Amino acid sequence: MAGKTIKKTTVTAEARIAALKKQLREARQSSRAARLDTEFALELERRRSQELEEAYYDTVLRLTRASAYKDRETGAHIQRVSHYAKILARQLGWSDDDQELIFRAAPMHDVGKIAIPDDLIRKRGSLNGGDRQVMESHTQIGASLLEGSTSRLLDMAREIALTHHERWDGSGYPHGLVGEQIPISGRIVMLSDHYDALRSRRSYKRSIDHEATCRIILEGDGRTSPGHFDPRLLEIFAAVHGEFDAVFEQYKDESQR
């Protein structure tokens, strides 16, 4: 009789253990399934936002191309500015993602020129007060074209469009910001754009070689002053200027080949 009871108790315990094991297995499976579901949803979300960023980039490149039709600046100029900006960002220790972000955002710096009258854009020589004001408004127009988006790319592009003519010493426009009041992205593109403008040949000016351009940026020439640039970026530029020259040579305008 006692033997029977022990056997029954053992069977019940074994059954309970088996049931618990089964429950545990099922719980593990369902938590694994939930994890896979979450991973899948995250991956989907990541892909969706990547596609969205690509779509933004594509649209904005077209907008940039449209504004370049109006301007003397060429597609090659825009490409080179992206490369210089990335060099400076890398030297500042930015992550690969952020380097890519400024590489993509920099081409939009002059997108606001799309709204500036053609005759003003083509005017040579210095502009009078009223004309200069209209011309300088390309910074604010560009920013308003790019604002209001949740995209990091468009947000950085807006910041650059607005601040790429600000100068470290406060003598720039549109707001006369000083030093670190100017977002770093604007400071980077300002130096990049300036280097390229000096090196480029225009209908109204000859091109300047790399050595002379470095001298102008690092020592000044009456129009350009080292005080216009972020000193940290100037230091980097002085160390890696050869890379700027290499970019200029690699992405030359057709007319300058």
Task: Give the nearer residue to Fe ion in terms of CB position, either 89 or 189.
Answer: 189
Scanning residues 109 to 148, which ones bind Fe ion (CB under 5 A)? 110
Candidate list 193, 194, 213, 236; residue touching Fe ion; CB under 5 A: 193
What is the spatial distance between Cα 248 and Cα 76, in angstroms, rounded to a whole number? Answer: 9
> How many whole angstroms from its chain centre is CA 197?
20
Stretch that binds Fe ion, among 151-159, 189-197, 205-213, 231-239 (CB under 5 A): 189-197
Shortest spacing between CB 148 and Fe ion, in angstroms: 21
Least Cβ distance, residue 168 to Fe ion (angstroms): 17
Which residue, 166 or 193, has its beta carbon nearer to Fe ion?
193
Rg of the Cα atoms in the chain: 29
Number of residues that bind Fe ion (CB under 5 A): 2
Stretch that binds Fe ion, among 5-13, 40-48, 152-160, 186-194 (CB under 5 A): 186-194
- For Fe ion, the closer of residues 48 and 122 by Cβ is 122
53 versus 127: smaller Cβ distance to Fe ion: 127
3-state secondary structure labels for all residues of 130-171: HHHHHHHCHHHHHHHHHCCCCCHHHHHHHHHHHHCCCCCCCC
Determine the interface stretch with Fe ion among 26-34, 126-134, 190-198, 216-224 (rule: CB under 5 A): 190-198
The residues carrying an active-site annotation are 113
Q: Mind giving me the DSSP string for 48-111?
A: HHHHHHHHHHHHHHHHHHHHHHHSS--HHHHHHHHHHHHHHHHHTT--HHHHHHHHHHGGGGGG
Q: How far is the CB of 49 from Fe ion (least distance, A)?
A: 29
Q: Which two tokens stand for residue 215?
A: 């001298």
Minimum distance between the CB of residue 86 and Fe ion, rounded to whole angstroms?
15
Instruction: Output the smallest distance, CB 57 to Fe ion, in A.
Output: 18
- Contact status, residue 234 vs residue 226, Cβ threshold 8 Å: yes
Q: Which residues contact 169 (CB under 8 A, 6 or more apart)?
A: 178, 225, 227, 228
When the beta carbons of 108 and 184 are compared against Fe ion, the nearer one is: 108
- For tokens 């002059």, the residue is 110
Q: How far apart are CA 52 and CA 48, in angstroms?
A: 6
∠ CA 163-166-172, nearest 5°, is 145
Binding letters toward Fe ion, positions 94-113, x by CB under 5 A: ----------------x---
Q: Is residue 166 within the footprint of Fe ion (CB under 5 A)?
A: no
Q: Which residues bind Fe ion (CB under 5 A)?
A: 110, 193
